[in-house]
């Protein structure tokens, strides 16, 4: 299901902005043009009347029917194997897995219903299992980690199977499973030439466990219905929260809590969520989420024209990625910052090259250092170099792509694809500004382009006309003063902004922008497309986000919510 259409502009705003309904895949009327909480949604943010007695948050927040088998993403496979064997660094074996197919309309790499194991991937899993088993069986330190020497080989083998199996399957092995692996273990010495004795048994069992569906899928088999939902058992909670916040298997503390049944208590889950967010892997998860949402991979494809920008560093894209990563980690983790902070902060990180683009004076070298930018010129992610250069031609800023990205992915407006054949930009007035050229191309009366560009796309892009193709601030374009003003479609109505600083402030206080951010997190967290049933949770968290709840706190709220800790009584269709 596509993101909700409630963010499509209401009737009043349609009239005010001249939006063409043809611009949307669907429009639903809003009350006064402002996003409402929706039927059954948390409409008052903070009223605990709807709080269930089970500590799982408001009762109207319900789980969406979803798969019972979440295949590990390739990143999760890699992280899990690293942790299973206590490797100093990733094995790298997942590099040979065939990449998963992209699913149209889903940003992230973890849509569970499309994560399949075909013969090509099975072949990859098989080869990786064989290789990893050989590595482990021939490395005494790994062998000692997964199968500590207890003196008696029979006991040692049994304990290895129980303990390693528990960690690999993220639940205890059944007696039948343990027996089967013991039988396999005993066959090991006769099935290898170069590996002998105990190590051969370990090697064969590892081959089998790493190919088991109980390892490759995070399975949820709970079926008992309690108060209209199916609570996940402690083992399932341990896996959900660990793969959500760390992209890897539960650690020993989580597994022990699961074994004690303590993760059925939301308070313990909350404690664990806060603990896991201190793990460096959580930084990687937050970084990965924002890399995808913010299309950071595009940063590296930038190439400002040397003729127009002779001083631009050749590795500008790489530097922009470094800047972004440092800013993100600093804001979210060092400052415990919010989505609003990411949108409006004047802090960033620069080296000498980026300092020059930002017009900073001072002594800068190759290393990145934290700086405060001019608050009249820069606010947050979208006035930083990465977004600006990734959405620019080699010569000019690109308000169309800047605007389309923000309208779709930050404000969650539904915008139809452009016409099949876009005519070339007409040869225009040589004295025209970039903005004037774009308007001539996209806002001509009677054209198909007008309906989306004039009310939606261009207003989100024009405020960034103050930034050239390297991200440097400019006040003139083609000899004329830059016009960065626009009337932008937000939930609060048609908002007049003078420039990108104004727009950043407007977005940071706009509920729709926060709901949009939380919808993206919902898709990532749950591994499925946004669903109308998610609205109540998203609205509650968006309200908190507008009120400056930190990103980390939002993630804790996700992890302790009813939709996260339970399953629907209905199976997925």
> 516 or 554, CB closer to another protein?
516
Binding to another protein in span 401-420, by CB under 8 A: 416-420
- Give the CA distances from residue 470 to residues 111, 367, 504, in Å, rounded to whole numbers and listed in that order: 35, 20, 20
Q: Is the dihedral of CA 53, 57, 59, 63 positive or negative?
A: negative
Beta bridge partners of 229: 226
By the 10 Å C-beta count (0-12 exposed, 13-18 middle, 19+ buried), 21 is classed as exposed
Q: Does the protein bind another protein through residue 226 (CB under 8 A)?
A: no
> 335 or 393, CB closer to another protein?
393
Question: Which of the stretches 153-161, 216-224, 231-239, 498-506 binds another protein when contact is defined by CB under 8 A?
Answer: 216-224
Torsion angle, alpha carbons of 530, 508, 243, 324, to 10 = 120
Contact between residue 317 and residue 389 where contact means Cβ atoms under 8 Å apart: yes
Interface residue with another protein among 31, 46, 53, 119 (CB under 8 A) is 119
Query: Residue 238: which of 252, 222, 217 has the closest Cα?
Result: 252
Interface residue with another protein among 50, 54, 68, 492 (CB under 8 A) is 68
- At which residue do the structure tokens 């930002």 appear? 358
Binding to another protein in span 4-23, by CB under 8 A: none
> 398 or 534, CB closer to another protein?
398
Q: Does the protein bind another protein through residue 116 (CB under 8 A)?
A: yes
Interface residue with another protein among 12, 16, 130, 182 (CB under 8 A) is 130
Number of residues that bind another protein (CB under 8 A): 70
* Residue 305 CB, nearest approach to another protein (Å): 9
> 393 or 475, CB closer to another protein?
393
Angle between helix axes 266-276 and 551-559 (nearest 10 degrees) is 140
Question: Which of the stretches 217-225, 251-259, 375-383, 489-497 binds another protein when contact is defined by CB under 8 A?
Answer: 217-225
By the 10 Å C-beta count (0-12 exposed, 13-18 middle, 19+ buried), 63 is classed as buried
Binding to another protein in span 264-323, by CB under 8 A: 297
> 32 or 419, CB closer to another protein?
419
Binding to another protein in span 505-564, by CB under 8 A: none
d(CA 319, CA 313): 9
> 334 or 429, CB closer to another protein?
429
* Residue 516 CB, nearest approach to another protein (Å): 17
> 203 or 379, CB closer to another protein?
203
Contact between residue 415 and residue 457 where contact means Cβ atoms under 8 Å apart: yes
* Residue 408 CB, nearest approach to another protein (Å): 10
Residue by residue, DSSP assigns 11-24 as: HHHHHHHT--GGGS
Question: Which of the stretches 100-108, 268-276, 362-370, 377-385 binds another protein when contact is defined by CB under 8 A?
Answer: 100-108
> 87 or 238, CB closer to another protein?
87
Question: Which of the stretches 75-83, 108-116, 359-367, 376-384 binds another protein when contact is defined by CB under 8 A?
Answer: 108-116
Query: Phi and psi at residue 112, in whole multiples of 5°?
Result: -60, -35
Q: Does the protein bind another protein through residue 212 (CB under 8 A)?
A: yes
Beta bridge partners of 226: 229
3-class SS at 375?
coil
Query: Residue 165: which of 150, 176, 151 has the closest Cα?
Result: 176
> 309 or 349, CB closer to another protein?
309
> 11 or 105, CB closer to another protein?
105
Q: Does the protein bind another protein through residue 123 (CB under 8 A)?
A: yes
- At which residue do the structure tokens 């199977």 appear? 161
d(CA 45, CA 273): 22
Interface residue with another protein among 3, 288, 324, 441 (CB under 8 A) is 441
Q: Does the protein bind another protein through residue 83 (CB under 8 A)?
A: no
* Residue 420 CB, nearest approach to another protein (Å): 6
d(CA 199, CA 136): 9
> 59 or 220, CB closer to another protein?
220
* Helical residues (DSSP H) of 252-383, grouped into ranges: 252-259, 266-276, 280-293, 316-329, 339-344, 352-358
Distance from chain centroid for Cα 53: 31
Interface residue with another protein among 29, 134, 259, 483 (CB under 8 A) is 134
* Residues making contact with another protein (CB under 8 A): 25, 65, 67-69, 71, 91-92, 96, 98-105, 113-124, 127, 130-131, 134-135, 138, 180, 184, 187, 191-193, 204, 207-208, 211-214, 217, 219, 221, 223, 297, 393-394, 400, 416-425, 441, 571-573
């Amino acid at each position: 299901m596509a993101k909700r259409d409630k963010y499509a502009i209401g009737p009043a705003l349609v009239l005010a902005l001249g939006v063409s309904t043809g611009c949307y895949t669907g429009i639903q009327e809003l009350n006064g043009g402002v996003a409402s909480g929706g039927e059954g949604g948390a409409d008052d943010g903070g009223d605990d009347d709807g709080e269930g007695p089970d500590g799982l948050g408001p009762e109207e927040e319900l789980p969406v029917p979803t798969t019972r088998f979440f295949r590990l993403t390739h990143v999760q496979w890699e992280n899990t194997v690293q942790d299973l064997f206590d490797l100093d660094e990733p094995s790298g074996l997942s590099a040979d897995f065939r990449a998963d197919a992209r699913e149209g309309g889903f940003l992230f790499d973890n849509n569970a219903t499309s994560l399949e194991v075909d013969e090509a991937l099975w072949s990859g899993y098989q080869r990786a299992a064989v290789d990893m088993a050989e590595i482990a069986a021939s490395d005494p330190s790994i062998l000692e980690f997964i199968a500590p020497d207890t003196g008696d080989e029979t006991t040692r083998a049994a304990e290895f199977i129980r303990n390693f199996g528990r960690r690999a399957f993220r639940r205890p092995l059944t007696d039948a499973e343990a027996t089967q692996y013991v039988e396999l273990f005993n066959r090991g010495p006769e099935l290898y030439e170069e590996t002998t004795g105990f190590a051969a048994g370990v090697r064969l069992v590892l081959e089998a466990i790493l190919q088991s569906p109980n390892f490759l899928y995070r399975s949820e088999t709970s079926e008992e219905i309690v108060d209209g939902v199916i609570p996940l058992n402690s083992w399932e909670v341990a896996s959900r929260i660990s793969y959500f916040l760390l992209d890897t298997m539960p650690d020993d503390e989580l597994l022990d809590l699961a074994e004690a049944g303590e993760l059925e208590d939301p308070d313990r889950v909350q404690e664990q969520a806060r603990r896991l967010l201190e793990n460096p892997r959580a930084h990687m998860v937050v970084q990965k989420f924002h890399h995808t949402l913010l299309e950071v991979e595009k940063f590296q494809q930038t190439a400002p024209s040397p003729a127009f920008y002779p001083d631009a560093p050749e590795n500008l894209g790489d530097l922009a990625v470094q800047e972004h990563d440092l800013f993100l980690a600093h804001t979210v983790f060092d400052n415990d910052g919010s989505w609003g902070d990411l949108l409006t902060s004047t802090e960033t990180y620069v080296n000498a090259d980026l300092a020059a683009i930002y017009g900073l004076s001072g002594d800068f070298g190759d290393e990145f250092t934290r700086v405060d930018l001019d608050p009249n010129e820069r606010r947050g992610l979208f006035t930083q170099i990465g977004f600006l250069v990734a959405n620019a031609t080699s010569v000019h800023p690109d308000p169309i792509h800047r605007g389309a990205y923000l309208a779709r992915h930050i404000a969650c407006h539904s915008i139809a694809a452009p016409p099949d054949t876009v005519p070339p930009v007409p040869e225009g007035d040589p004295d025209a500004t970039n903005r004037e050229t774009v308007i001539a191309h996209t806002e001509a009366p009677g054209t198909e382009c007008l309906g989306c560009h004039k009310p939606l796309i261009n207003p989100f892009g024009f405020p960034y006309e103050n930034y050239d193709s390297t991200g440097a601030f400019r006040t003139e374009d083609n000899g004329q003063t830059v016009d960065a003003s626009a009337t932008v479609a937000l939930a609060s109505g048609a908002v007049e902004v003078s420039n990108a600083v104004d727009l950043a402030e407007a977005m940071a206080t706009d509920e729709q922008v926060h709901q949009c951010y939380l919808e993206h997190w919902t898709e990532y967290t749950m591994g499925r497309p946004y669903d109308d049933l998610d609205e109540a949770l998203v609205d509650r968290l968006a309200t908190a986000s507008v009120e400056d709840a930190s990103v980390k706190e939002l993630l804790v709220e996700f992890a302790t919510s009813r939709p996260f800790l339970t399953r629907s009584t209905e199976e997925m269709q």
